[in-house]
Amino acid sequence: MEKNKSFFRPQGILVILVCLSGSLSLGLMMLFKPNASDAQSSRSVKVKDATANVGTQQRVEKLKDQMLTSWQQEAQAKGIASDVPPRFQGATIQAAKLPSGQKVVALTFDDGPWPQTTAKILDILKKNDIKSTFFVVGQNVKNYPDLVKRVVTDGHAIGNHTWHHWYHYMNPRVAAYEIDNTTNLIYQTTGVKTSLFRPPGGMMHNGVAAYARSNKYAIIMWSSDSVDYSRPAVPRLINNIFREAKAGGIVLMHDGGGDRTHTVQALPEIISKFRKQGYQFVTIPELLAMQDKEQKLIASGASRTNANKK
C-alpha cells in the first residue's frame, strides 16, 4: 500500500499540477482573450480602412467626373463647342466671303498639341487676348492631353486633323478610323465635339476628305499660307502671310509636327501687323457664323427685292 500510496502520491501531485496548469492556461486564455478580440477588431479596422480607401477613390473619381462635367458645361457656355451652320456642313471653305469692311481674320494652328510650342503659342495668344483655332492630330491629343485641355479652356476652337496625319490613299474604313477616333478623343479629353476638319497637307483626294464631307464636317482650308513647315526666316514667314491677307481670310500656321520656333518668334509681329491694318481676330466657328449671317442678310434682301418686283 505504501508503495501504492507512494506511487499515487506523486501522481496526485501530478494531477494537481495538471489541474493547476489547466486552470492557469484557462486563466491565461481568459487573459489573452481580450487581446484576441483586439486582434479581431484590428482586423476589422483594417477591413474598414480598405473600405474607406475604396470609398475615397470613388469620391476622387466622382469629383473628377464632376470637374470634367462642369468644365464641359463651361466650354459649351463659352460657345466653343464647334457648331457649324447647316450651309457649311460638308462644304469646303478657303475663306469667308465678307464685305471688305468686316476686317476679321482667323489664325489657325495645325499638327499639335506639341510639347515645345503649343504652350508658348497659347501664352502669346492669351497675352494679346486673341482666340484662334487649333487643328489637332489624334495621336498628339493622346500624348499631350493637358495641352489640348488648355487649348479649350483658354477659349480657342478645335478641329480634327486626323489621327496619324497620313497623306496616302485611305479606304473608307481607314478614313473612318482616322477621323472618328480623333473626334471621339477630342470629346473625351475636352468635352468639345468638333465639326471642323482639315485634311493633312490639304489633300482633298486621298479618301479622308471624302469621309469628312459625307459625315457633314466643314472642311476648313486656308487663304493665307505661312509656309512655316519649311522653316523660313521670320521676316519671310510674316511676308508669306501678309502677301495673301484679306478680310475673312484663314491663316495657316503650325504649332506642332516639328521645330516651330520661327512660328513662335513671328507670332507677336503677325498679330501687331494685323492689328495695325485694322483686323480683328476670330475663331473658325465665329468666322462661319459671320458669313452665315451675311448670307442670310443677302438672301432676305434678295427676297425683299423679289417681293417688291411682284
Q: How far apart are CA 56 and CA 51, in angstroms?
A: 9
**Shortest gap between Cβ of 228 and Zn ion (angstroms)?**
11
Residue 228 interacts with Zn ion (CB under 5 A): yes or no: no
Residue 243: Cβ-neighbour burial (10 angstroms; 0-12, 13-18, 19+): exposed
Residue 34 vs 202, nearer CB to Zn ion: 202
Candidate ranges 110-118, 143-151, 239-247, 302-310; the one touching Zn ion (CB under 5 A): 110-118
> In 10 A of CB 239, how many CB atoms?
13
SS3 assignment, position 135: strand
Is 110 annotated as catalytic? Answer: yes
Catalytic residue (choose from 165, 254, 255, 262): 254
Q: Is position 110 an interface residue for Zn ion (rule: CB under 5 A)?
A: yes
Candidate segments 42-50, 103-111, 113-121, 151-159, binder of Zn ion by CB under 5 A: 103-111
| Contact residue for Zn ion among 200, 207, 249, 256 (CB under 5 A) | 200
What is the closest distance, in whole angstroms, from the C-beta atom of residue 201 to Zn ion in the complex?
6
The contacts of residue 231 (CB under 8 Å, 6+ apart) are 258, 259, 262
Amino acid at 182: T
- Separation of CA 152 from chain center: 7
Q: Give the torsion sign (CA, 164, 168, 170, 175).
A: positive
255 near Zn ion (CB under 5 A):
no
111 lines the binding site for Zn ion (CB under 5 A) = yes
**How many residues make contact with Zn ion (CB under 5 A)?**
3
Q: For Zn ion, which residue has the nearest CB?
A: 110
Residues that bind Zn ion (CB under 5 A): 110-111, 200
Residues catalogued as catalytic? 110, 254
